[in-house]
Amino acid sequence: MAIPFAVYATIIAIVILLMLYVKYSHSYWSKRGVPYLEPTSIFGNMENPFNLKVGHMFSFKRCYEELKKRKERFGGIYFFTEPIFMPIDPDLIKSILTKDFPHFHGRGFVHNEKHDPLAAHLLNLEGEKWKTMRIKVTPTFTSGKMKYMFQTLLDCGNPMIDHVSHLCEKEQNIDIKEIVACYTTDIIGSCAFGLECNSFKDPNAEFRLYGRKEKAKAEGTEPLTIEEIAAQAFLFFVAGFETSSTTITFCLHELAFNQDIQDKLREEIREVYQKHNGKLTYDGIMEMKYMDQVVNETLRKYPPLPILNRVCSIDYKIPDTNITLPKGTKVVISNLGIQTDEEYYPDPMTFSPERFSEENKATRPNYTFLPFGEGPRVCIGLRFGMMQTKTALAMLLNNFKLTPGDNENYNICFDPKSFILQKKGKVLLKAEELCA
Ligand code: HEM
């Protein structure tokens, strides 16, 4: 049967309207006199979402590099048809994240509290609601509470050591990514939900299965309601589990390929164990200076959240310009771009913890190391994330020498679909048990 002319005409009209809409949307920055990157397709400056090769996080990094090459302080880009403002200059980044925070207190993540009460968590909330919740949740992460939770970290670390020890006997490649995910799942389960999850004894434990499923999708004194508690605990599970587990995994990957750094770190760990009567303590972890450098270098090269998001909530005049960003403008800061910028980190793909010695840190401008964000919305779990990462590394390296697994490549192929930076597939290492 012949297709009527009217159907053809409608299809052609829709395509033309769509093209006009894209063209109109992509003229946003030029109309405002903002330096911008020419969109390369209907997907703006992003990759074709139906054929992702490196992922959007690397598209943002590329935009950062392009604007930097042009010596711009900032620039406009397009996420599909949506205009995005990208600051490049660290002073402007500081203004957005900290100095002029009242203009940028939200992230612009759309959520519907009524239909999805679990979405009413810190990451999504804005304005007064966010401020109130932040004040209520902050006391969870004091150093006193941190010390109290430290025993849980050890309790969850011991089954991990037993498990790796068992695999060592069989001399097989071990999937460190899965092992570390079990460790962080058990910690979040214990600390946020008061549950003993047993991911090592039972790899199909409900909590671990839930973690895998998550991965697949991607007023002051008033007490918290049960819905609010549930939403924050849910966020801690999502934000705290994947970010820390990916950090530990990348760090072990680098240490397996950099035996000199691994040995130096083990030496420090063992000295501190000895000083504290052969035990791993909270104070001992805090004393490990080289450990701090190694973890920071990991977070530099592999920031688990490779971009920071903000939305402009009050019109904002960009300092030292006549340009005003209207309310509603989305802002993306590419911390992956900044942290691999040659100007701040020469030879950026080399893993070198020396970059984080006190002397070297002092040579860099502020706001060029942002793995936890900055300003009033900085990661609330920063200390907890660092603590669980360092505890796992200290326990593993005190007991095992780690080397790359069979056919494991140094250069990592990242999962292009994940908004958290992580390796596609397994991370295989070999472990050899060491004498105490
Ligand atoms: C290595 C581990 C971690 C990394 C790299 C990390 C990174 C980040 C980053 C980049 C942000 C956004 C900051 C910004 O927009 O300026 C953030 C926010 C947040 N993180 Fe983390 N995070 C880690 C661990 C954790 C843990 C363990 C928890 C909780 C148990 C946690 C809870 C949160 C929460 C609640 C927010 C939202 C804060 C707010 O909007 O007020 N994070 N994190």
3-state DSSP assignment of residue 92: helix
Residue 431's Cβ-side half-sphere holds a number of Cα atoms within 13 Å equal to 27
Whether residue 300 has its Cβ less than 6 Å from ligand 1: no
Q: How many CB atoms lie within 10 A of CB 51?
A: 7
ipTM of the complex: 0.99
pLDDT digits 0-9 by tens, 10-33 = 999 999 999 999 999 999 999 999
Per-residue pLDDT, 6: 87
Quote the ligand 1 centre to 30 CA distance (angstroms): 35
Whether residue 247 has its Cβ less than 6 Å from ligand 1: yes
Helix axis angle, 226-257 relative to 127-137, nearest 10°? 70
Lowest-confidence pick of 211-220, 258-267, 386-395:
211-220
Which runs of consecutive H residues, i.e. helices, occur in 206-319? 206-217, 226-257, 259-275, 282-287, 289-301
| Nearest residue to 297 (alpha-carbon basis) of 342, 245, 361 | 361
Token pair 């605990």 in the structure block, residue: 233
Q: What is the mean pLDDT of residues 197-207?
A: 67
Per-residue pLDDT, 218: 44
pLDDT at 159 over 80: yes
User: How far apart (Å, rounded) are the C-alpha atoms in residues 420 and 417?
Assistant: 9
Average pLDDT, the chain: 91
Whether residue 87 has its Cβ less than 6 Å from ligand 1: no
Per-residue pLDDT, 220: 46
Q: How confident is the model at residue 219 (pLDDT cuts 50, 70, 90)?
A: very low
User: What residue type is assigned to position 171 of the chain?
Assistant: E
For residue 402, what are its two tokens?
């780690």
According to the annotation, is 197 in a ligand binding site? Answer: no
Quote the ligand 1 centre to 235 CA distance (angstroms): 9
Nearest-atom number in ligand 1 for the CA of 388 is 27
pLDDT digits 0-9 by tens, 91-112 = 999 999 999 999 999 999 877 7
Q: Whose CA is nearest to atom 43 of ligand 1?
A: 379
Whether residue 240 has its Cβ less than 6 Å from ligand 1: yes
Q: What is the mean pLDDT of residues 36-45?
A: 96
Per-residue pLDDT, 406: 92
Say what the pTM is. 0.93
Look up residue 44 and give its DSSP letter.
B
pLDDT at 66 over 70: yes
Quote the ligand 1 centre to 300 CA distance (angstroms): 15
Quote the ligand 1 centre to 137 CA distance (angstroms): 13
Whether residue 305 has its Cβ less than 6 Å from ligand 1: yes
pLDDT digits 0-9 by tens, 293-345 = 999 999 999 999 999 999 999 999 999 999 999 999 999 999 999 999 999 99
Whether residue 262 has its Cβ less than 6 Å from ligand 1: no
Lowest-confidence pick of 38-47, 117-126, 274-283:
117-126
Residues making up the chain, counted from first to last: 436
Per-residue pLDDT, 1: 62
Whether residue 378 has its Cβ less than 6 Å from ligand 1: yes
Q: What is the mean pLDDT of residues 232-242?
A: 74
What does the angle CA 206 – CA 416 – CA 121 come to, to the nearest 5 degrees?
50
Q: How confident is the model at residue 204 (pLDDT cuts 50, 70, 90)?
A: low
Provide the b/e sequence for 302-341 (b: ≥16 CB within 10 Å): bbbbbbbbbbbbeebebeeeeeebeeebbbbbbbbbbbbb
Whether residue 385 has its Cβ less than 6 Å from ligand 1: yes
User: How far apart (Å, rounded) are the C-alpha atoms in residues 372 and 354?
Assistant: 20
Whether residue 189 has its Cβ less than 6 Å from ligand 1: no
Quote the ligand 1 centre to 18 CA distance (angstroms): 38
Nearest-atom number in ligand 1 for the CA of 191 is 30
Q: What is the dihedral angle through the alpha carbons of 35, 36, 38, 41, rounded to the nearest 10 degrees?
A: -160
